[in-house]
């Protein structure tokens, strides 16, 4: 029997939600995805059809995940309505390469709500929700990124951020006493644990919010989370006894410097080091980062610790010359669900060539134990 409670305390760990796993299950499959363009009035224009391509949700349902987790960009509320493309025969060499686009336009709360509710009414997505227990099961969860927050690369100055938050929480059927309704953002923690309390079968999913309190990039030493979310994160991790910890970060954490092709934690390097140091210092068990945003898939890993070489300071907590205890962090980037750099997103850059085209339009499925 599945159960869910608010502010439940299990194994001395206060979390927002608890989902109990039947003891008969010897593995837990969590599916993740991001960057989803729902076809319709507001969809991303394409070179041929002019509307988005619907995603086949049976591809996820058939894998029988125990939960499905959004990594951001559930919808594209800010996308420009018009694009112009290369004329034929140049399209043979540069397919789907836009030569002109109108600027991104901030969404309204009404537009975001319309798009979210249209997605909920989609038969395929509705089937996924029902398969995972329906309203209140907490087996469909996640966070947002910029396009579903309301504007490309948006931050805390977005005027509709509270309207956007309301539309987001309504999409997830959040109740009136949902802890996220009383927070400065949509961050949350969900503990998946064996119904008999077996901690060897427990996973804590921490959905971070990198938009509601994000500083503009013009701010020196800016922040993604805000101090309230940092405090919440530290308290949540300090009390956790989960076997594995999954962090949902809409932006990539481990990529940096020339490797980064879009927004990432390295844009605020002090905060990137802060979260890596937090995970390392608190000895977080089996940390896995799930990111989205970039429209390609990638697997990264890093050893975290402290360097004995002053020249490595520029690399922060990640270094090739570590002393003392180290910890390994794995990051899986899963993007995009309906569009990617391999299909309708332009030609490859040099950085993109390191990614296999076969991995560009998939979602990752993780076996936690």
pLDDT of res. 53: 61
What CA–CA distance (Å, rounded) separates 106 from 129? 29
Please tell me the distance from the alpha carbon of residue 40 to that of residue 345, in angstroms, as a whole number. 19
Q: Tokens representing 36?
A: 């989803």
Question: What is the per-residue pLDDT for 340?
Answer: 73
| Cα-Cα-Cα-Cα dihedral sign, residues 262, 268, 271, 272 | positive
The reported pLDDT for the residue numbered 42 is 53
> Three-state SS string across 23-80, please?
CCCCCCEEEEECCCCCCCCCCCCCCCCCCCCCCCCHHHHCCCCCEEEEECCCCCCCCC
Asked if residue 347 lies in contact with residue 310, where contact means CB atoms within 8 angstroms, the answer is: no
- Contact in structure between 271 and 214 (CB atoms under 8 Å): no
Q: 319-348 as b/e, with b when 16 or more CB fall inside 10 Å?
A: beebeeeebebebbbbbbbbbbbbbbbeee
- 3-class state of residue 367 by DSSP: strand
pLDDT at 303: 84
d(CA 19, CA 66): 10
Residue 66's Cβ-count burial label (10 Å; 0-12, 13-18, 19+) is buried
Assigned token pair, 33: 């995805």
- Local confidence pLDDT in tens for the 369 residues of the chain: 333 334 444 443 489 999 999 999 888 899 999 999 876 655 555 444 334 567 899 999 999 999 999 999 999 998 765 656 556 666 555 555 555 566 788 999 999 999 999 999 999 999 999 999 988 889 999 999 999 999 999 999 999 999 999 999 999 999 999 999 999 999 999 999 999 999 999 999 999 999 999 999 999 999 999 999 999 999 999 999 999 999 999 999 998 755 556 899 999 999 999 999 999 999 999 999 999 999 888 899 988 776 555 444 444 555 544 445 667 899 999 988 887 766 544 444 444 444 443 443 444 344 444
Residue 96 confidence (pLDDT):
54
**Token pair 């390191």: residue:** 354
CB atoms within 10 A of CB 125: 20
> In this predicted structure, what is the pLDDT of residue 74?
96
Quick one: 363 exposed, middle or buried, by C-beta within 10 A (0-12, 13-18, 19+)? Answer: buried
Cβ distance 212 to 169 under 8 Å? no
- How would you label 151-161 residue by residue, b for 16+ Cβ within 10 Å and e otherwise? bbbbbeebebb
Contact 19, 190 (CB under 8 A): yes
Strands (DSSP E) along 169-248, which ranges? Answer: 188-194, 202-207, 244-248
């Amino acid at each position: 029997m599945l159960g869910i409670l608010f502010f439940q305390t299990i194994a001395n760990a206060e979390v927002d939600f608890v989902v109990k796993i039947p003891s008969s299950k010897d593995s837990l499959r969590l599916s993740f995805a991001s960057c989803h363009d729902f076809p319709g009035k507001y969809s991303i224009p394409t070179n041929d059809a002019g509307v988005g391509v619907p995603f086949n949700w049976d591809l996820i349902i058939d894998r029988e995940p125990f939960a499905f987790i959004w990594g951001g960009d559930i919808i594209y509320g800010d996308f420009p309505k018009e694009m112009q493309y290369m004329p034929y025969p140049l399209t043979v060499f540069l397919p789907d390469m836009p030569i002109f686009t109108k600027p991104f336009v901030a969404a309204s709360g009404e537009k975001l709500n319309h798009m979210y509710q249209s997605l909920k009414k989609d038969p395929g997505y509705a089937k996924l929700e029902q398969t995972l227990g329906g309203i209140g099961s907490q087996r469909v969860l996640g966070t947002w990124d910029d396009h579903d927050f309301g504007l490309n690369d948006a931050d805390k100055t977005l005027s509709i951020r509270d309207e956007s938050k309301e539309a987001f929480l309504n999409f997830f059927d959040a109740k009136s006493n949902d802890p996220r309704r009383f927070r400065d953002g949509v961050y949350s923690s969900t503990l998946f644990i064996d119904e008999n309390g077996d901690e060897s079968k427990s996973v804590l999913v921490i959905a971070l919010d990198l938009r509601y309190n994000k500083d503009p990039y013009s701010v020196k030493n800016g922040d993604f989370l805000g101090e309230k979310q940092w405090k919440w994160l530290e308290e949540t991790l300090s009390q956790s006894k989960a076997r594995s910890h999954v962090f949902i970060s809409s932006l990539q954490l481990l990529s940096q410097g020339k490797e980064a092709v879009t927004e990432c934690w390295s844009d605020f390097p002090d905060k990137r080091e802060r979260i890596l140091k937090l995970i390392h210092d608190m000895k977080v068990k089996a940390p896995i980062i799930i990111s989205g945003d970039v429209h390609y898939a990638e697997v990264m890993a890093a050893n975290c610790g402290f360097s004995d070489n002053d020249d490595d300071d520029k690399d922060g907590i990640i270094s090739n010359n570590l002393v003392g205890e180290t910890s390994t962090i794995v990051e899986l980037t899963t993007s995009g669900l309906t569009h990617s750099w391999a299909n309708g997103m332009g030609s490859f850059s040099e950085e993109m060539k390191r990614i296999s085209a076969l991995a560009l339009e998939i979602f990752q499925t993780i076996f936690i134990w």
